């Protein structure tokens, strides 16, 4: 077995410094060859592709947050190479989704105890999304969050409360599977997964390998309802809200009444008026705990 480790040293925690001895320890135990690449510069994806071509690994391990995982998913989609997620970021939503422990040592030991699972990806305006993308309220919070040096729940909550006083409504025309609807909304999520990195469940219906993604529509709501909606997300009872509609489909074309910020896996892409979402069924192989 050959394993290629891609480490993002700026992913949001200080756990990276313990990865080298952990990698050495488990490589000696399992007798595999490995190489390590620490991300630097703006052309990291090109360097990674070249190193993968040269080393020809069976597994690529991504040590970082959701952005690092997304970059590797883009490279590994529709290949025979398996992705291992080692969560060391400030947001580890995909690791949480796959029940991978938020602990580098336990994650690395999936090389010994884990199983390979094919999962879906989605493509949003031509860009791969492994976890969640959206426009509207949450995307604007992510944009604010991107500019923060200090991350975490309190910072996110502070930006959420600030956005409530600037809440914008959008009119979306949504075409999906030979149907067309129009909805007013404050947020529209394109969900491959079920929950954010915080554990808040935005998509209770989500199954990550069923060939479907969900459009989660958050309709305009009174300001006083924000805490109720947030509570339902953390209690996984969002479907009981009068302000939520969820549509499962394998493709969708959305037109917004005006430009709105698009984010994918925690990265701000641009401002858009049109969004095309496509399913990529069983496009990526990942290493997960045996019980997942």
| Structural domain spans, the chain | 2-113, 127-281
Instruction: Output the average pLDDT for the chain.
Output: 88
Report the run of H or E that residue 61 belongs to, with start and end.
Answer: strand 59-64
189-234 pLDDT tens trace? 999 999 887 778 899 989 999 999 999 999 998 878 877 888 898 8
DSSP state of 119: E
pLDDT band per the 50, 70, 90 thresholds, residue 152: very low
> Which option is the CATH number for 2-113: 3.40.50.10330, 1.10.150.120, 3.10.20.90, 3.40.50.11890?
3.40.50.10330
69-103 pLDDT, tens digit per residue, is 999 999 999 999 999 999 988 778 899 999 999 88
Which letter, b or e, does each residue of 22-53 get, where b requires 16 or more Cβ atoms within 10 Å of its Cβ? Answer: bbeebbeeeeeebeebebeeeebeeebeebbe
pLDDT score, position 69 = 94
Q: Which residue has the higher pLDDT, 83 or 237?
A: 83
Ramachandran angles phi, psi of 232, nearest 5°: -65, -35
Q: CATH classification of 127-281, choosing from 3.40.190.290, 3.40.640.10, 3.40.50.300, 2.60.200.40?
A: 2.60.200.40
The confidence score (pLDDT) of residue 146 equals: 53
Query: Is pLDDT above 50 for 188?
Result: yes
Q: DSSP character for 81?
A: P
Region 257-283 average pLDDT: 93
Lowest mean pLDDT among 8-17, 118-127, 151-160: 151-160
Least confidently predicted of 126-135, 151-160, 251-260: 151-160
Residues 6+ apart with CB under 8 A from 11: 63, 64, 65, 67, 68, 88, 89, 90
What does pTM read for this prediction? 0.87
Q: What percent of the chain has pLDDT over 70?
A: 88
**Residue whose C-alpha is closest to residue 265's, from 45, 82, 118, 95:** 95
**The pLDDT of residue 139 is above 90:** no
Question: Picking from 156-170, 223-237, 271-285, which range would have the lowest pLDDT averaged per residue?
Answer: 156-170
More confident residue, 10 or 30: 30
**How distant, in Å, are the alpha carbons of 27, 70, 120, 121, 233 from that of 284?**
24, 11, 7, 7, 27
Q: What confidence tier does 148 reach under pLDDT thresholds 50, 70, 90?
A: low
CA dist 110 → 103, 161, 288 (Å): 11, 39, 7
CA 2 to centroid of chain Cα atoms? 26
């Amino acid at each position: 077995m050959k394993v290629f480790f891609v480490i993002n040293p700026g992913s949001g925690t200080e756990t990276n410094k313990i990865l080298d001895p952990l990698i050495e320890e488990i490589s000696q135990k399992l007798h595999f060859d490995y190489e390590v690449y620490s991300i630097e510069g703006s052309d990291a994806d090109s360097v990674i592709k070249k190193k993968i071509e040269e080393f020809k690994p069976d597994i690529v391990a991504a040590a970082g947050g959701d952005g690092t995982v997304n970059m590797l998913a883009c490279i590994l989609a529709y290949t025979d190479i398996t992705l291992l997620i080692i969560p060391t970021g400030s947001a580890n939503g995909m690791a949480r989704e796959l029940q991978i422990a938020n602990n580098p040592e336990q994650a690395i030991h999936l090389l010994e105890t884990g199983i390979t699972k094919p999962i879906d990806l989605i493509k949003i305006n031509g860009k791969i999304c492994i976890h969640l993308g959206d426009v509207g309220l949450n995307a604007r919070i992510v944009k604010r969050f991107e500019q923060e040096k200090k991350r975490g729940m309190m910072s996110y909550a502070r930006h959420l409360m600030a956005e409530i006083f600037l809440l914008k409504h959008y009119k979306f025309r949504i075409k999906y599977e030979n149907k067309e609807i129009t909805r007013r909304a404050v947020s529209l999520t394109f969900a491959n997964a079920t929950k954010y990195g915080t554990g808040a469940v935005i998509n209770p219906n989500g199954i990550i390998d069923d060939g479907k993604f969900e459009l989660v529509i958050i309709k305009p709501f009174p300001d006083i309802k924000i805490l109720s909606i947030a509570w339902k997300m953390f209690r996984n009872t969002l479907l009981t809200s009068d302000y939520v509609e969820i549509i499962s489909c394998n493709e969708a074309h959305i037109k917004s009444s005006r430009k709105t910020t698009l984010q994918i896996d925690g990265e701000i892409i641009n401002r858009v008026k049109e969004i095309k979402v496509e399913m990529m069924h069983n496009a990526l192989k990942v290493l997960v705990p045996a019980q997942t």
